[in-house]
């Protein structure tokens, strides 16, 4: 009987130990599952963070690209317009002035051909229109347009000494005046540079610019008592000047003259 009780107690202890072992195993499995779950959550969070970092990289959007493009196009158009204006010839500027007939019946282009009108900036022009003559002088009405010839405003009148005068319209918007046999009794042509100063015509006399010219017979022009001339424009500030002896008609000088240095000197002296 005693042995039976002892056997029962041993079996009971073994059963209890077995159950306890199973409980530990289950708890370990649960803990392992929890740990696995924690690791899985951490990995998922890490992947999401990486994805978020990649998404926040500075990459231009379609809207940003489209907004930048028009600015470049605008700059390009501005440069093209500026370049076109810079390369436009003086003849093209002249052709843009609208047709207009002045009081003496001349158009702007006709006055320009006579050296009595010019374009000094794109769309800006002046006209020197013959008016009255009296007491050895010639008077001119001066007009200015800043809108391509649509409107012409009155400016100060211009007076010039009567004589053998020739006007030439220059490519820079100014005029050259050659004057000889006037009331001033010139022995040879006197040259002046005329330009519009916003109020009227400003004249710069190129003092004795031709005085030291050596003629074909080696005389200086300033030493000749009387001379005739013809002049034609060759471009820039240059002209072809032909001087002849009025008594014989013989050509005593025929050459091209560049008045740029004389004009620059006269303007800088003012």
User: Is the model's pLDDT at 69 over the cut of 50?
Assistant: no
Q: What is the mean pLDDT of residues 147-169?
A: 96
Q: What is the mean pLDDT of residues 75-98?
A: 68
> What is the rounded average pLDDT for all residues in the chain?
79
- When mean pLDDT is compared over 36-50, 71-85, 177-191, the highest value belongs to 177-191
CA distance 195 to 167: 12
Judged by average pLDDT, the poorest of 8-12, 24-28, 234-238, 261-265 is: 24-28
User: Can you give the residue range of the structural domain that contains 130?
Assistant: 90-268
User: Is the model's pLDDT at 29 over the cut of 80?
Assistant: no
CA distance 202 to 101: 24
Higher pLDDT, 199 or 21: 199
User: Is the model's pLDDT at 3 over the cut of 90?
Assistant: no
Counting the structural domains of the chain, the total is: 1
pLDDT on residue 9: 52
Write the DSSP assignment of 40-91 as a string of letters.
Answer: HHHHHHHHHHHHHHHHTS----HHHHHHHHHHHHHHHHHHHHHHHHHH--HH
Among residues 87, 109, 90, 85, the alpha carbon closest in space to that of 98 is found at 109
Q: State residue 102 phi and psi, 5-degree precision.
A: -90, 180
Contact 201, 128 (CB under 8 A): yes
Q: Is residue 193 part of a domain?
A: yes
pLDDT classification of 11: cutoffs 50, 70, 90: low
Q: Is residue 73 part of a domain?
A: no
Q: What is the mean pLDDT of residues 184-203?
A: 93
pLDDT classification of 14: cutoffs 50, 70, 90: low
CA distance 28 to 36: 12
pTM of the shown model: 0.68
CA distance 223 to 46: 104
pLDDT on residue 10: 55
Can you tell me which residue has the tokens 């072992």? 21
The 10s digit of each residue's pLDDT in 122-144 is 999 999 999 988 888 999 999 99
Tokens of 163: 């004589």
Q: Is residue 221 part of a domain?
A: yes
The 10s digit of each residue's pLDDT in 200-213 is 999 999 978 899 99
Residues above pLDDT 90, as percent of the chain: 58
The 10s digit of each residue's pLDDT in 213-256 is 999 999 999 999 899 999 999 999 999 999 999 999 999 999 99
pLDDT classification of 12: cutoffs 50, 70, 90: low
Q: Is residue 9 part of a domain?
A: no
Q: Is 201 exposed, middle or buried (0-12, 13-18, 19+ CB in 10 A)?
A: buried
Question: Which whole-number Å values give the CA distances from 109 to 114, 159, 193, 194, 199, in the listed order?
Answer: 9, 22, 20, 18, 21
User: Is the model's pLDDT at 117 over the cut of 50?
Assistant: yes
Q: Is residue 49 part of a domain?
A: no
User: Is the model's pLDDT at 66 over the cut of 70?
Assistant: no
**Non-local CB neighbours of 258 within 8 Å, separated by 6+ positions:** 236, 237, 238
């Amino acid at each position: 009987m005693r042995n039976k009780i002892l056997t029962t107690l041993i079996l009971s202890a073994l059963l209890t130990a077995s159950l306890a072992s199973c409980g530990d195993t289950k708890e370990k499995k649960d803990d392992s599952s929890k740990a696995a779950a924690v690791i899985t959550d951490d990995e998922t969070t890490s992947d999401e963070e990486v994805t978020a970092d990649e998404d926040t990289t500075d990459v231009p959007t379609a809207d940003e690209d489209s907004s930048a493009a028009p600015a470049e196009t605008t700059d390009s158009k501005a440069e093209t317009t500026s370049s076109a204006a810079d390369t436009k010839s003086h003849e093209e500027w002249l052709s843009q002035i609208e047709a207009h007939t002045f009081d003496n019946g001349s158009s702007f282009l006709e006055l320009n051909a006579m050296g009595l009108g010019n374009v000094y900036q794109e769309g800006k022009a002046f006209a020197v229109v013959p008016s009255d003559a009296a007491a050895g002088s010639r008077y001119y009405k001066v007009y200015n347009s800043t809108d391509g010839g649509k409107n012409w405003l009155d400016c100060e009148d211009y007076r010039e000494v009567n004589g053998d005068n020739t006007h030439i319209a220059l490519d820079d918007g100014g005029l050259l005046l050659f004057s000889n046999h006037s009331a001033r009794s010139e022995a040879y042509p006197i040259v002046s540079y005329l330009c519009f100063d916003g109020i009227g015509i400003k004249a710069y006399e190129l003092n004795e610019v031709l005085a030291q010219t050596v003629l074909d017979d080696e005389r200086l022009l300033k030493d000749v008592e009387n001379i005739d001339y013809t002049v034609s424009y060759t471009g820039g500030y240059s002209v072809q000047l032909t001087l002849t002896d009025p008594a014989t008609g013989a050509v005593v000088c025929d050459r091209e003259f560049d008045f740029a240095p004389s004009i620059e000197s006269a303007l800088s002296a003012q």
